[in-house]
């Protein structure tokens, strides 16, 4: 191989490679390039064309240029008005540039021509040429952006020179600088044919892939278009049939279903229903039913959430902000939440449900609300009081006329999120009278194993309740069915003392009512007046009635203010209360507590708090019958029997004649109010009433008592001690008799209540009788004219 060396002016090219054997226009604008062209025109018109590695460099140094370039002849130069030269070059041969030299105004380079070896494998070259031409033809055909004139293609296909063929073919290809440089740098006929063939085949593969993708995209587009077209048509038809809105409505429904985030299974069902609806006569009853159903599916939340994680600090703060006292209750709630938080990520954790138990108005609902607020979650509540039918929880099947979802789903719709705090009020009231088993439906709602797929009969698709934070409330534990109770973490709230109520009223209820009544700054209340409201206008364990009375007071004041505005703040004093609230309903000091024959003052527990109860007994000549009336359960009957048996066995001690029980009929009456469940604790009270009736000895009514009695006169412990003492205190009782066995629980009773009470702890009924029964006015035991109390 013979290499010739030449020295020629250099024209650097940007973004382009011109291969040998081509005639090509080149715009020359840079001063050094222009000078190079001029220099060439003066000589033998030859130049080196070399491509820049980085097109943005204006005055490229040698290292900015590729090593390989081409030898070209300047065929024609035309000066354009802007000074640029349009040059036509004819490229001849490859050249390796070896050294550069700065001349006057231009750059010259010394280079040697790269010539192909003169001999080659003719058979191989023939095959390569054929394949290259074939590939080139397919390339031109498949290449969307390349619009090559047919004659040029024919020219390539007709070429016989294996040296020129690859260069010319590559010259037409739309390759980048790297690809074309690769061709330029390839020396040797076979090598170059292979290189260009390889590049062509590479592109053909790409085109095939592209068109496959394109075909798929097109297919999809066609399908969409078809659907769109059909839908438009249907819209038009529906418009004809049922007026404008129907069509738009269907379209809107479809969009809402797509956007709702329903699980696939539900979405499928919704779309099916929609298709049915589209075929129905708009406005027909069946269309209304289908439409209502779809609205329900769309209105319950499927993905929306509210709120943050549990933050114990924040919850404590919120609970304190909203509630006075209740320290132990708040502590228990926080503990419960802490455990829940720790178990947050534990899928297998089956936490219990919080259940707040206590009389009305002690803040159960509002504690639930605070928990929601502290977590920034939506809050909903439903009352289960009086729910007898499973359908109220789960809804009715759609086949019923006017069917609707049950309370659970209705509340979820109200919540609008999948994770609200959900308060189930009065869960004890539901179970007490059940039909169709609402309790087992509730069990499913509250069971983490099952509530992921809660089914409402109306919705008829599984609905996930597992992210709901359920809290339940109840007045009494005893009426919650066992399986439900087992799932719950019970927190008891017993009721407030008068002092606590006063603090709650001052700190919470009164300011809230002032705000609600727009009377802030115009009305104030004296502490003594609040106390009087508590004592004389309400009698309750909680503060609900207290809140109502304060609300009433503010409303009355507001009305007066409107009629007759005043300056500054008007103060409500104790003596003003009748003016606002009417005559007091309760007068503790006026309580009837003169001693009475045939009566006794008992203390009872009820679901709405503690209460006083007066047991009455009447003895009339007869044959020893025992008659019981009023709110008496079997347990109370047993108490009465036990009391009677005790009196018989100790008859002489109480001055009762031998065999008195066969000569007298006894009638024991317990007024409404105390629940039968509480029966045993009235034992000693019944004993006192009977003893008093039989002996004629008056019983002191300023002592209130509670305690179970055995046949042999032993006094046993009772429950609900705190509630009972709160009630006694509130009613103005100052002396109580309690079973000695209950002494430890006295520690739970607020100090302010205990210090007002004289407590007598007893072990035997005789201690009770001795304390309460006064000597008979006439020393004779019951005669044929015993002391009677009228029947209530
Ligand atoms: P429940 O649900 O136990 O029947 P609520 O939560 O409805 O009782 O309470 C009745 C009213 O008394 C509500 O306005 C509540 O905010 C208020 N309340 C109850 N306890 C407290 C308390 N400890 N501090 C402040 N407000 C209280």
381 & 522 share domain = no
Nearest CA to ligand 1 atom 15: 363
Residue 44 sits in which domain range?
A: 5-114
Do residues 479 and 503 both lie within one domain?
Answer: no
- What does 146-201 look like in DSSP terms, one character per residue? ----HHHHHHHHT---TTHHHHHHHHHS---HHHHHHHHH--SHHHHHHHHHHHHH
CA of 505 to the centre of ligand 1 (A): 10
Task: Respond yes or no: is residue 269 known to be catalytic.
Answer: no
- Are 480 and 511 within one domain? no
Is 118 annotated as a binding-site member? Answer: no
Q: Would you say 735 and 757 are in contact if contact means Cβ atoms under 8 Å apart?
A: yes
631: in domain: yes
For residue 544, the ligand 1 atom closest to its alpha carbon is 10
Q: Say if residue 201 is in the same domain as residue 71.
A: no
Give the C-alpha separation, 4 to 655, whole Å. 153
The ligand 1 atom nearest the CA atom of 366? 6
Residues paired with 425 in a beta bridge: 383
Coil, helix or strand at residue 592: coil
**Which tens digits make up the pLDDT trace of 349-380?**
667 888 999 999 999 999 999 989 988 889 99
Atom of ligand 1 nearest to the CA of 362: 3
In a domain, residue 234? The reply is no
Q: What is the DSSP string of 624-692?
A: S-EEEEES--HHHHHHHHHHHHHHHHTGGGGTPPTTHHHHEEEEEEE-TTS-GGGGGGGHHHHHHHHHH
Residue 365 assigned as binding residue:
yes
Whole-structure pTM value: 0.60
Q: Are residues 417 and 510 in the same domain?
A: no
Question: Span 252-263, mean pLDDT?
Answer: 89
Q: Are residues 268 and 178 in the same domain?
A: no
Residue 515 C-alpha to ligand 1 middle, in angstroms?
17
Q: Is residue 640 part of a domain?
A: yes
265 in a structural domain: yes
Is pLDDT above 80 for 777? Answer: no
Q: Which band of pLDDT confidence, cut at 50, 70 and 90, is reported for residue 70?
A: very high
Confidence of residue 310 (pLDDT cuts 50, 70, 90): confident
* Model confidence at 232: pLDDT above 90: no
363 annotated ligand-binding residue = yes
CATH number assigned to the domain comprising residue 668: 3.30.230.10
> What is the chain's length?
792
Instruction: Pick the last residue of a domain from 207, 227, 262.
Output: 207
User: pLDDT digits over 475-531, tens only?
Assistant: 988 878 888 888 888 998 888 888 889 999 999 999 999 999 888 889 999 999 999
Based on the fold, state whether residues 49 and 128 are members of the same structural domain: no
The CATH number of the domain where 160 resides is what?
A: 1.20.58.1480
Give the CATH number for residue 71: 2.30.130.40
List 33, 374, 476, 681, catalytic entry: 681
- Considering its fold, how many domains does the chain have in total? 6
Which residue's CA is minimally distant from atom 9 of ligand 1? 363
The conformational region for residue 268 under phi > 0 = left, psi -120 to 50 = alpha, else beta, is alpha
Q: Are residues 637 and 764 located together in one domain of the fold?
A: yes
Final residue belonging to a domain, choices 88, 114, 140: 114
Distance in Å, CA 511 to ligand 1 centroid: 14
Q: Assess if residue 790 is contained within a domain.
A: no
* Phi, psi dihedrals of residue 693, rounded to the nearest 5°: -65, -40
| Alpha-carbon gap, residue 699 to 692, rounded angstroms | 6
677 & 768 share domain: yes
Whether 213 is covered by a domain: the verdict is no
To the query of whether residue 627 is one of the catalytic residues in this protein, the response is: no
As given in the structure block, the two tokens for residue 624 are 């020893």
Specify the CATH number for the domain of residue 330.
3.40.50.300
**CATH code (residue 523):** 1.10.8.60
What is the Å distance from ligand 1's center to 76 Cα? Answer: 101
Same domain, 320 and 258: no
- The catalytic position among 374, 724, 731, 787 is 724
The answer to whether 364 is a known ligand-binding residue is yes
DSSP, collapsed to helix, strand or coil, labels residue 533 as helix
Distance 299 CA to ligand 1 centre (A): 32
Q: Are residues 130 and 47 in the same domain?
A: no
List pLDDT tens digits, range 729-761: 888 889 999 999 999 989 888 888 888 899 999
- Atom nearest to 546 CA in ligand 1: 12
Pick from 542, 546, 551 the residue to mutate for probing ligand 1's pocket: most ligand atoms within 8 Å of its CB: 542
Write the pLDDT tens digit of every residue in 686-712.
Answer: 999 999 998 889 999 999 999 998 888
Q: How far is CA 789 from CA 596, 598, 623, in A?
A: 9, 6, 19
pLDDT of residue 3: 60
On whether residue 783 sits in a domain, the answer given is no
User: What residues contact residue 744 under an 8 Å CB cut-off, 6+ apart?
Assistant: none
| Same domain for 54 and 148 | no
Pocket of ligand 1 (CB under 6 A): 323-326, 360-366, 473, 504, 508, 542-544, 547
419 within some domain: yes
CA distance 69 to 642: 124
521 is in an annotated binding site: no
- Alpha-carbon distances, residue 64 vs 61, 162, 182, 516, 635 (angstroms): 5, 32, 17, 83, 109
């Amino acid at each position: 191989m013979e290499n010739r060396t030449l020295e020629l002016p250099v024209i650097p090219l940007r973004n382009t490679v011109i291969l040998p054997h081509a005639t090509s226009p080149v715009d020359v604008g840079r001063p050094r390039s222009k000078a190079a062209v001029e220099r060439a025109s003066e000589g033998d018109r030859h130049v080196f064309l070399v491509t820049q590695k980085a097109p943005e460099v204006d005055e490229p140094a040698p290292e900015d240029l590729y090593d390989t370039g081409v030898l070209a002849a300047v065929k024609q130069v035309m000066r354009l008005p802007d000074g640029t030269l349009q040059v036509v070059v004819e490229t001849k041969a490859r050249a390796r540039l070896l050294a550069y030299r700065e001349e006057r105004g231009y750059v010259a380079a010394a280079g040697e021509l790269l010539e192909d070896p003169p001999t080659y494998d003719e058979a191989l070259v023939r095959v390569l040429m054929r394949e290259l031409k074939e590939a080139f033809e397919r390339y031109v055909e498949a290449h969307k952006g390349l619009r090559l004139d047919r004659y040029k293609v024919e020219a390539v296909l007709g070429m016989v020179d294996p040296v020129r063929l690859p260069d010319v073919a590559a010259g037409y290809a739309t390759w980048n600088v790297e690809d074309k440089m690769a061709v330029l740098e390839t020396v040797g006929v076979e090598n170059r044919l292979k290189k260009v063939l390889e590049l062509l085949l590479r592109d053909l593969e790409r085109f095939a892939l592209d068109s496959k993708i394109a075909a798929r995209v097109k297919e999809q587009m066609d399908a969409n278009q078809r659907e769109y077209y059909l839908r438009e048509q249907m819209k038009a038809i529906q418009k004809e049939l049922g007026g404008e809105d129907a069509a738009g409505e269907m379209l809107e429904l479809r969009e809402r279903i797509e956007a709702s985030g329903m699980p696939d299974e539900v979405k499928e069902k919704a779309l099916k229903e929609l298709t049915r609806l589209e075929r129905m006569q708009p406005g027909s009853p069946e269309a209304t039913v289908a439409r209502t159903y779809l609205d329900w599916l769309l209105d319950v939340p499927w993905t929306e959430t509210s709120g943050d994680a549990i933050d114990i600090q924040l919850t404590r703060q919120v609970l304190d902000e909203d509630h006075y006292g209740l320290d132990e209750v708040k502590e228990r709630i926080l503990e419960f939440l802490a455990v829940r938080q720790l178990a947050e990520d534990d899928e297998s954790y089956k936490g219990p449900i919080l259940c707040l138990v206590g009389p009305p108005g002690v803040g159960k609902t509002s504690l639930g609300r605070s928990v929601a607020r502290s977590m920034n979650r939506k809050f909903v509540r439903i009352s289960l009081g009086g729910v007898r039918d499973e359908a109220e929880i789960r809804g009715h099947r759609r086949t019923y006329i006017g069917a609707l979802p049950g309370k659970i789903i209705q509340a979820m719709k109200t919540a609008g999120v999948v994770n609200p705090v959900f308060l189930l009020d009065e869960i004890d009231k539901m179970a007490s009278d059940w039909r169709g088993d609402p309790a087992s439906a509730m069990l499913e709602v509250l069971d983490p194993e099952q509530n992921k797929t809660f089914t409402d009969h109306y919705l008829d698709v599984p609905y996930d309740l597992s992210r709901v934070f359920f809290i339940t409330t109840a007045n009494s534990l005893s009426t919650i069915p066992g399986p439900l109770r087992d799932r719950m973490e019970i927190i008891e709230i017993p009721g407030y003392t008068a002092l606590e109520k006063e603090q709650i009223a001052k700190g919470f209820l009164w300011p809230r009512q002032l705000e609600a009544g727009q009377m802030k700054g115009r009305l104030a209340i004296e502490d003594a007046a609040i106390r009087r409201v508590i004592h004389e206008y309400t009698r309750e364990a909680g503060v609900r009635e207290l809140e109502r009375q304060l609300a009433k007071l503010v409303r009355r004041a507001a009305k007066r203010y409107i009629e007759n505005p005043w300056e500054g703040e008007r103060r409500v004093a104790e003596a003003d209360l009748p003016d606002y609230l009417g005559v007091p309903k309760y007068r503790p000091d006026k309580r009837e507590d003169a001693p009475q024959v045939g009566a006794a003052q008992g203390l009872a527990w009820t679901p709405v708090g503690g209460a006083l109860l007066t047991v009455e007994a009447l003895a009339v000549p007869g044959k020893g019958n025992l008659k019981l009336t009023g709110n008496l359960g079997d347990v109370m009957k047993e108490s009465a029997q036990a009391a009677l048996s005790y009196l018989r066995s100790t008859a002489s001690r109480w001055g009762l004649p031998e065999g008195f029980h066969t000569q007298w009929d006894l009638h024991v009456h317990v007024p409404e109010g105390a629940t039968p469940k509480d029966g045993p604790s009235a034992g000693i009270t019944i004993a006192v009433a009977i003893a008093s009736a039989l002996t004629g000895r008056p019983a002191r009514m300023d002592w209130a008592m509670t305690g179970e009695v055995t046949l042999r006169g032993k006094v046993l412990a009772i429950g609900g001690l705190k509630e009972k003492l709160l009630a006694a205190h509130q009613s103005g009782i100052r002396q109580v008799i309690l079973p000695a066995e209950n002494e430890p629980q006295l520690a739970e009773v607020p100090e302010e209540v205990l210090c007002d009470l004289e407590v007598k702890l007893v072990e035997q009924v005789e201690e009770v009788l001795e304390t309460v029964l006064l000597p008979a006015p006439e020393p004779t035991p019951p005669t044929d004219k015993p002391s009677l109390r009228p029947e209530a």
